[in-house]
């Protein structure tokens, strides 16, 4: 039997180093991570067995078992899930393929508290075993492989691991942790019980703790064991809403999203009727590092009749809601569904539009009831939501209602005001929602175009995001009020009464001046007029109603058009 020594990929080594040295604040989460992986492995086996039932090899009762050996400080976690081949072990345990890894590692500061939080957002995964153990052994046999095709992966330090071929009687993975001296508490039954209950109650398969069988057997040489199921062992989304506590929803989110940060909101619904499905949708607490990378897979975790099908069914969400995570369990789709079938299924289309409504409901509710959470949401995901009006015409006004802006009446620089806020403050007789596009807030606030608006106390939205103008063009109106660029065309006359005097002084001197200026600029402008726009500045440029603004022009140039 040969033992091969391998080095870790650089990123894996860095992450491992972090686990070993800096994540002390919440050590117990290692167990959640390992149980979460075991449960994923059960899901994967069920999925593969749809095509080939022989993979079960007469053992289709999927479960996770934990053995504790407090005397030696050893914890063992067994699953009878899909297992790993040798190649998969090297790939999965020796490298980190997750996108955004190097970005994440560069973001680390060396400050333990800040880093721990970042690691939490990134997701710690399998390496969290090294928070509590100084030696970790993984023995695994892929479903469908023979007993002598199993592998043992051993790691005792940061630099390298070994791999050897072994025999393993049953399918699946066994992970053995040799606890550090200061982590022996994690071999205690009481402690492990409460950790499993706390973090893994929602796992859909039993998590059981090994116990000595019964009294009589105590003296025999070969002790027999029973397994005592600790968790609820029903998939969370299949349980009635009224029975599920908030922290169970939160833990479930962390399990399916591999995220440590508590979600901002969730919505759990069972739909029966023409279509029959359950959805559990979450708004995460922070944006992933690669939110803007359109290549990255995302979407809902898809189950069909409780069987896991895929992790990233993107067909159920429009692109502007791609930050939403969660589970969809359908009773209508065929078990052998493929991405292609999903793409052309009318059932998927109607589920998607129903989910969009639920998500908009959930966001509106958050905006109304928890303004702090909504601010976080807007900061993290606002820019993605702004793609909505262009993509989803039917819902454009509801989406626009979720937008937040800085206006001339906003205190501070944070976008906190909605279009509804603006409309509620509109002046008598004001019929349009005014906006100004600028590169940043400072230049917006110093713009001469605002003079008359200030003087007449008319609020203006200040748009400074790159895509704002494009977004607003798609929104076009809100509550029947046109959105109007203050640098274009004519303004509503009646509103600018305060500046009327000046403009009405249509005396001969100004007519003369206008003629002179017209002559000077005749090749450069369409016309020269008196204006009510200004109070202090002598002149400004106004664009024709249908002209491309300088910002749009810049954007189109940047896009190579
Ligand atoms: P993640 O779960 O986010 O993919 P982890 O670091 O937790 O990342 O695990 C890395 C990979 O190792 C998993 O994606 C999986 O392929 C593999 N793996 C870990 N534990 C098991 C297990 N018990 N059975 C089968 N594969 C596993
Ligand atoms: Mg994991």
Q: pLDDT band at 499, cuts 50/70/90? A: low
Nearest ligand atom owner, CA of 127: 1
Strands 160-166 and 477-478: unpaired
Percent of the chain with pLDDT over 90: 62
Q: pLDDT band at 526, cuts 50/70/90? A: confident
Give the tens place of pLDDT for each residue, 60-77.
999 999 999 999 999 999
How many whole angstroms from 548 Cα to the centroid of ligand 1? 52
Average pLDDT over residues 309-337: 93
Residue whose CA is at the smallest distance from ligand 1 atom 25? 83
pLDDT of residue 199: 87
Average pLDDT, the chain: 88
Q: pLDDT band at 253, cuts 50/70/90? A: very high
Residue to mutate (ligand 1; options 37, 41, 131; most atoms within 8 A of CB) = 37
- Pocket lining: 204 vs ligand 1, CB cutoff 6 Å: no
- Pocket lining: 236 vs ligand 1, CB cutoff 6 Å: no
How many whole angstroms from 252 Cα to the centroid of ligand 1? 17
Q: Give the tokens for residue 5.
A: 């020594």
Please give the number of the atom of ligand 1 that sits closest to the Cα of 93. 12
How many whole angstroms from 294 Cα to the centroid of ligand 1? 24
More confident residue, 544 or 264: 264
Contact 159, 8 (CB under 8 A): yes
Binding-site residues, in ranges, read 33, 37, 79, 84, 92, 98-100, 121-126, 173, 339
Residue whose CA is at the smallest distance from ligand 1 atom 15? 92
Please give the number of the atom of ligand 1 that sits closest to the Cα of 123. 3
Binding-site residues for ATP, in ranges, read 33, 37, 79, 84, 92, 98-100, 121-126, 173, 339
ipTM topping 0.90: yes
Give the burial class of 97: count Cβ atoms within 10 A of its Cβ; 0-12 exposed, 13-18 middle, 19 or more buried. exposed
Residue to mutate (ligand 1; options 11, 36, 126, 129; most atoms within 8 A of CB) = 126
- Pocket lining: 13 vs ligand 1, CB cutoff 6 Å: no
pLDDT of residue 521: 76
Nearest ligand atom owner, CA of 139: 1
How many whole angstroms from 92 Cα to the centroid of ligand 1? 6
Please give the number of the atom of ligand 1 that sits closest to the Cα of 81. 24
Contact 130, 148 (CB under 8 A): no
Dist. CA 36–CA 332, nearest whole Å: 27
Question: CB-side exposure of 330: number of CA atoms within 13 Å?
Answer: 24
pLDDT of residue 100: 74
Q: Give the tokens for residue 366.
A: 């958050």
Please give the number of the atom of ligand 1 that sits closest to the Cα of 38. 23
End-to-end CA distance of the chain: 63
Nearest residue to 432 via CA among 383, 492, 386, 378: 492
Residue whose CA is at the smallest distance from ligand 1 atom 16? 92
How many whole angstroms from 126 Cα to the centroid of ligand 2? 6
- Pocket lining: 38 vs ligand 1, CB cutoff 6 Å: yes
**Tokens 């289309």 found at:** 349
Q: What distances in angstroms separate CA 17 from CA 282, 401, 493, 512, one per listed residue?
A: 32, 46, 68, 78
Residue whose CA is at the smallest distance from ligand 1 atom 13? 92
Please give the number of the atom of ligand 1 that sits closest to the Cα of 33. 7
Question: CB-side exposure of 402: number of CA atoms within 13 Å?
Answer: 28
Neighbouring-strand partners of residue 210: 227
* CB-CB neighbours of 301 under 10 Å: 20
Residue to mutate (ligand 1; options 40, 142, 311; most atoms within 8 A of CB) = 40
Nearest residue to 89 via CA among 173, 171, 157, 148: 173
DSSP label at residue 560: T
How many whole angstroms from 310 Cα to the centroid of ligand 1? 15
How far is C-alpha 126 from the chain's CA centre? 21
Contact 356, 321 (CB under 8 A): yes
Give the tens place of pLDDT for each residue, 27-57.
898 999 999 999 999 999 999 999 999 999 9
Contact 328, 344 (CB under 8 A): no
Residue whose CA is at the smallest distance from ligand 1 atom 18? 37
DSSP label at residue 241: G
Please give the number of the atom of ligand 1 that sits closest to the Cα of 258. 3
Average pLDDT over residues 420-447: 94
Give the tens place of pLDDT for each residue, 459-473.
999 999 988 999 999
Name the pTM for this structure. Answer: 0.81
Q: Give the tokens for residue 336.
A: 């052998």
What DSSP line would sit under 511-531, residue for residue? HHHHHHHHHHTTTT-S-----
Nearest ligand atom owner, CA of 36: 2
- Pocket lining: 126 vs ligand 1, CB cutoff 6 Å: yes
The answer on pLDDT for 376 being more than 70 is yes
Residue whose CA is at the smallest distance from ligand 1 atom 11? 92
Residue whose CA is at the smallest distance from ligand 1 atom 4? 125
Contact 36, 200 (CB under 8 A): yes
Average pLDDT over residues 159-181: 96
Strand order in the sheet with 432-437: 406-407, 461-463, 432-437, 481-485, 477-478
Q: Give the tokens for residue 444.
A: 């917006």
Question: CB-side exposure of 300: number of CA atoms within 13 Å?
Answer: 26
Dist. CA 212–CA 224, nearest whole Å: 6
Please list, in sequence order, all residues whose beta carbon lies within 8 angstroms of the beta carbon of residue 285, skipping any fewer than 6 positions away. 259, 261, 262, 263, 264, 376, 380
Instruction: Give the three-state DSSP class for 67.
Output: strand
Dist. CA 437–CA 447, nearest whole Å: 10
How many whole angstroms from 192 Cα to the centroid of ligand 1? 21
Dist. CA 461–CA 437, nearest whole Å: 8
The answer on pLDDT for 498 being more than 60 is no
Q: pLDDT band at 543, cuts 50/70/90? A: confident
- Pocket lining: 94 vs ligand 1, CB cutoff 6 Å: no
pLDDT of residue 215: 62
């Amino acid at each position: 039997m040969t033992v091969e020594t391998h080095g870790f990929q650089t990123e894996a080594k860095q992450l491992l180093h972090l686990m070993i040295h800096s994540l002390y604040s919440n050590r117990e989460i290692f167990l959640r991570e390992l149980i979460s992986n075991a449960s994923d492995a059960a899901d994967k086996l069920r999925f593969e067995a749809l095509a080939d039932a022989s993979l079960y090899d007469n053992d289709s009762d999927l479960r996770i078992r934990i053995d504790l050996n407090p005397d030696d400080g050893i914890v063992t976690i067994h699953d009878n899930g899909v297992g790993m081949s040798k190649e998969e072990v090297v790939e999965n345990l020796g490298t980190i393929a997750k996108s955004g890894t190097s970005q994440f590692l560069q973001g680390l500061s060396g400050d333990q508290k800040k880093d721990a939080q970042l690691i939490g957002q990134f997701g710690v995964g399998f390496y969290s075993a090294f928070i509590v153990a100084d030696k970790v052994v993984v023995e695994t046999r892929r479903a469908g492989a023979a007993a002598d095709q199993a592998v043992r992966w051993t790691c005792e330090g940061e630099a390298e691991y070994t791999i050897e071929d072994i025999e393993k009687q049953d399918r699946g993975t066994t992970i053995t942790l040799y606890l550090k001296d200061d982590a022996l508490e994690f071999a205690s039954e009481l402690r492990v019980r409460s950790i499993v209950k706390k973090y893994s109650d929602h796992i859909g398969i039993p998590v059981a703790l090994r116990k000595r069988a019964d009294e009589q057997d105590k003296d025999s040489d070969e002790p027999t064991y029973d397994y005592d199921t600790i968790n609820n062992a029903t998939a969370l989304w299949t349980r009635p809403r009224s029975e599920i506590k908030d922290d169970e929803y939160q833990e479930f989110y962390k399990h399916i999203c591999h995220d440590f940060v508590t979600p901002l909101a969730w919505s759990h619904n069972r739909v029966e009727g023409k279509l029959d499905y359950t959805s559990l949708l979450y708004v995460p607490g922070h944006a992933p590092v690669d939110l803007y990378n359109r290549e990255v897979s995302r979407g809902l975790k898809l189950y069909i009749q409780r069987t896991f099908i895929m992790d990233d069914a993107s067909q159920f969400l429009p692109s502007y809601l791609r930050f939403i995570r969660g589970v969809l369990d359908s009773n209508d789709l065929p078990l052998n569904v493929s991405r292609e079938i999903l793409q052309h299924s009318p059932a998927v289309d109607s589920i998607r539009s129903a989910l969009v409504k639920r998500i908009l409901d959930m966001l509106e509710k958050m905006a109304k009831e928890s303004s702090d959470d909504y601010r976080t949401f807007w900061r993290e995901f606002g820019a993605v939501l702004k793609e909505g009006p262009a993509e989803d015409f039917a819902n454009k006004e509801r989406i626009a209602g979720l937008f937040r802006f800085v206006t001339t009446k906003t205190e501070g620089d944070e976008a906190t005001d909605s279009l509804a806020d603006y409309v509620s403050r509109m002046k008598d007789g004001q019929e349009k929602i005014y906006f100004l596009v600028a590169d940043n807030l400072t230049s917006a606030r110093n713009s001469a175009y605002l003079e008359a608006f200030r003087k007449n106390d008319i609020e203006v939205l200040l748009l400074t995001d790159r895509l704002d103008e494009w977004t607003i063009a798609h929104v076009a109106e809100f509550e029947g009020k046109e959105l109007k660029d203050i640098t274009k065309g004519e303004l509503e006359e009646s509103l600018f009464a305060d500046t009327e005097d000046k403009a009405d002084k249509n005396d001969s001197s100004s007519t003369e001046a206008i003629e002179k200026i017209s002559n000077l600029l005749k090749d450069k402008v369409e016309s020269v007029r008196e204006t009510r726009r200004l109070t202090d500045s002598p002149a400004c440029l106004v664009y024709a109603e249908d002209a491309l603004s300088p910002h749009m022009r810049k954007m189109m140039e940047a896009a190579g058009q």
